Chain A
Amino acid sequence: MTILRTLFDLTLGTAERAMAALPLSSARWFALVLLIVPVLLVARIRPQTLLADAPDAARWRDLRWWAALFTLPYVLIYFWAG
């Protein structure tokens, strides 16, 4: 157990110190990246794939818009209220 503890102190402990060195102000940008990147990635999916078994091809059924619209309030919260 002592050897493992030393090993973890060397590896995870070093990473801990690196994380501790990051400024608190960077938290906002990490959070925004986490929220926005998935939406940007799914925007690249072809609509035909998403609507394959939808009841109809109405514009509101394009789920890429749902993802963007529902993520927007979260982006605002983490940008302004963080």
Chain B
Amino acid sequence: MTGATGLAGIDAVIIGVYLLGVLLLGGWFGRYVHTAGDFFMAGRVLPFWAVGMSIVVSDIGATDFIAVSGGTYKYGLAQANFDWLGSMPALVIAAFVFVPFYWRSGVFTIPEFLGRRYGPLVQTILALCWGVILVINLGIMIHATGILLRGVLGWPPAVSILVTTVIVGIYTIRGGLAAVVMTDVVQLVVMFVGGTALVARALWEVGGPWAMRDRILGLGPDYADHFSLYLPHDTATPFPWTGIVLGLGIVLSTAYFTGNQAVVQRCLGARSEWDARAGVLFAGLLKLFIPLLVAVPGLAAILIVPGLANPDEAVPSLIRLLLPPGLRGLMFAAFLAALMSSVDSYLNSSSTLWTQDILGPLRARFGRPFDSRQQLRAGRITSAAVLVLAALVAPQIEQRFTNIYNAIQTVFSLIQGPTLAILVLGVLWRRANRHGATAGLVSGVMFCLLLNTPGMKGLFASEEPFLFVAWWSFLFSLAVTAVVSLATPPEPPDRIRGLVWGDVTSDPEVQAMLRARLARAESSESP
């Protein structure tokens, strides 16, 4: 029997079992959290498969199920570039170039690494930028929950936000990164099973993949490019091929997989450098399948529920129309899994960043540095504070953006280009210095904000030009950082020893120093 909520008794049982299981699993890991290192870095025990699965599941949240499907419904298969071209090249670069640096320097966060390379001012600016952006991103994810639960269950968004954030909050605040990663592993499996059920049912309904293709292409010229990965430069969609190659393939994806705290933190929690690298590459393999799970339902929805005013309603409508009791509960559990895995990851990363890069240095400045126990408590308190802030941001999202995915990309494009520019130069170019990085970072973010002002409307062919904003801000920050660095004195060689490419890969002395530094960091995290 189906209740007023749209779910049958069997669905409620499946969802209840899933939520209870995740809560118990996440809570169980809380028993092993004794230090800040356990909370933020999972005690550095994660195997490669858990790292890879967690990276993917953190990346594909409910936002992807809702918004990538919505984007595919509206723009076609070009949306899949974000999971394909926007992943694998960047993951290879991350695995072989950047992960070893982060791993060997024994840091907790990207701003902390850049703080070592460029000094505390860059660390603080970057931490504040990322701290705010991660909160907004969490707000977007929570907003996606509202859309999902409104579409499937008819629940008021406030109720759905409260239920999911309380559950995620409990296990994330108690269990830290280990709880987040291990629940992510379970959530990925649930997502794949639930997602596959929806894909199979949707394809059955439209007569199979080839029939779906023929029928959509037969709908007229508006759908002529719906099965093309490359769209013309002057396309009305936000995904022209030039933007996809330059903005996404070179800047946004590389910045995301090398400079996003939520991704990098999983690598830093790996049990060895090999596991960290292998985990990143394994994520690349898993990403191959994501468009099949999220884009195919969006395409099928064009035929099953045509003419939706809000494309983000495509998948919730399919669930309501196509899935029988039981499968609907499974799919709903998959949605919750996607949502919770992203929220928990970003929540843990936000609290790490606020604690390590903002509160920690602030207390140290006033002569009261955190000890490990205080650091752990601060991490838990900031997790709760960030969750509340994000829930307050969530209602603002729908008023400002046409599509959730574009909202996320626009927010990230403000900081990704400048961050990547100073990161690349910091790692690869010994001559880059703190003055250059500060100037490059600040002017790059200002440049991004400027390009997003109403006065710049029409500068790019695309209505939502986040791909080009990312590309040009990256080049702008590269140029400013290089020019200012060359015009000011270089960093003393001893200060940047072990923080640039040549040292780390070929100097045995530096390698020994880094191993000793890592061993010291690990021993100081022990209770």
Contact with A along B462-493 (1 / 0, CB 8 A): 00000010001000000000000000000000
A3 to B461, CA, bound (A): 20
With both beta carbons as reference points, the residue of chain B lying nearest to A13 in the complex is identified as: B459
Contact present for A22 and B505 (CB under 8 Å): no
B82 within 8 A of A: no
Pick from B88, B241, B288: contact of A35, CB under 8 Å: B88
With both beta carbons as reference points, the residue of chain B lying nearest to A26 in the complex is identified as: B241
Tell me how far the C-beta of A79 lies from the nearest C-beta in chain B, rounded to whole angstroms: 11
Pick from B92, B245, B249, B274: contact of A50, CB under 8 Å: B274
Contact present for A73 and B288 (CB under 8 Å): yes
A19 to B472, CA, bound (A): 13
For this complex, into which size category does the number of interface residues on chain A fall? Answer: 35 or more
Which chain B residues (93-119) contact chain A, with CB distance < 8 Å? Answer: 93, 95-96
Contact with A along B227-239 (1 / 0, CB 8 A): 0111011100000
B277 within 8 A of A: yes
Knowing A35-B85, A53-B274, A82-B229, the reply to whether A8 touches B288 (Cβ < 8 A) is: no
B122 within 8 A of A: no
Pick from A5, A24, A35, A81: contact of B89, CB under 8 Å: A35
Contact present for B274 and A31 (CB under 8 Å): no
Pick from B233, B281, B284, B451: contact of A20, CB under 8 Å: B233
A53 to B44, CA, bound (A): 14
Contact with A along B482-517 (1 / 0, CB 8 A): 000000000000000000000001000000000000
Pick from B230, B278, B288, B455: contact of A31, CB under 8 Å: B230
Knowing A31-B249, A74-B85, A74-B288, the reply to whether A50 touches B277 (Cβ < 8 A) is: yes
A12 to B247, CA, bound (A): 14
With both beta carbons as reference points, the residue of chain A lying nearest to B77 in the complex is identified as: A81
Contact present for B278 and A63 (CB under 8 Å): yes
Q: Could you say which residues of chain A place their CB within 8 Å of the CB of B505? A: 45, 49
Contact present for B472 and A31 (CB under 8 Å): no
Which chain B residues (271-287) contact chain A, with CB distance < 8 Å? Answer: 272-274, 277-278, 281-282, 284-285
Contact present for A55 and B274 (CB under 8 Å): yes
Knowing A1-B455, A24-B230, the reply to whether A55 touches B85 (Cβ < 8 A) is: no
Which chain A residues (37-54) contact chain B, with CB distance < 8 Å? Answer: 37-39, 41-42, 45, 49-54
Contact present for B230 and A28 (CB under 8 Å): yes
Pick from A35, A42, A70: contact of B96, CB under 8 Å: A42
Contact present for A78 and B229 (CB under 8 Å): yes
A49 to B502, CA, bound (A): 13
Contact present for A82 and B230 (CB under 8 Å): yes
Q: Could you say which residues of chain B place their CB within 8 Å of the CB of A63? A: 95-96, 274, 277-278, 281
A53 to B514, CA, bound (A): 13
A30 to B272, CA, bound (A): 35
Tell me how far the C-beta of A71 lies from the nearest C-beta in chain B, rounded to whole angstroms: 6
Contact present for B461 and A20 (CB under 8 Å): yes
Contact present for A27 and B230 (CB under 8 Å): yes
A63 to B97, CA, bound (A): 13
Q: Could you say which residues of chain A place their CB within 8 Å of the CB of B284? A: 70-71
B403 within 8 A of A: no
Contact with B along A50-82 (1 / 0, CB 8 A): 111111000001010011001101100110011
B450 within 8 A of A: yes
Knowing A35-B88, A71-B92, the reply to whether A5 touches B456 (Cβ < 8 A) is: yes
Contact present for B233 and A22 (CB under 8 Å): yes
Contact present for A38 and B92 (CB under 8 Å): yes
A31 to B81, CA, bound (A): 10
Contact present for B245 and A30 (CB under 8 Å): yes
With both beta carbons as reference points, the residue of chain B lying nearest to A4 in the complex is identified as: B450
Tell me how far the C-beta of A61 lies from the nearest C-beta in chain B, rounded to whole angstroms: 7
Q: List 8 A-B contacts (CB under 8 A).
A: A1-B455, A24-B241, A27-B230, A31-B229, A34-B250, A70-B88, A70-B285, A77-B229
Known contacts A31-B245, A67-B281, then 12 further A-B pairs from the complex at CB < 8 Å, ordered by chain A residue:
A24-B233, A28-B230, A55-B274, A61-B274, A63-B274, A70-B88, A71-B88, A74-B84, A74-B88, A77-B84, A78-B85, A82-B228
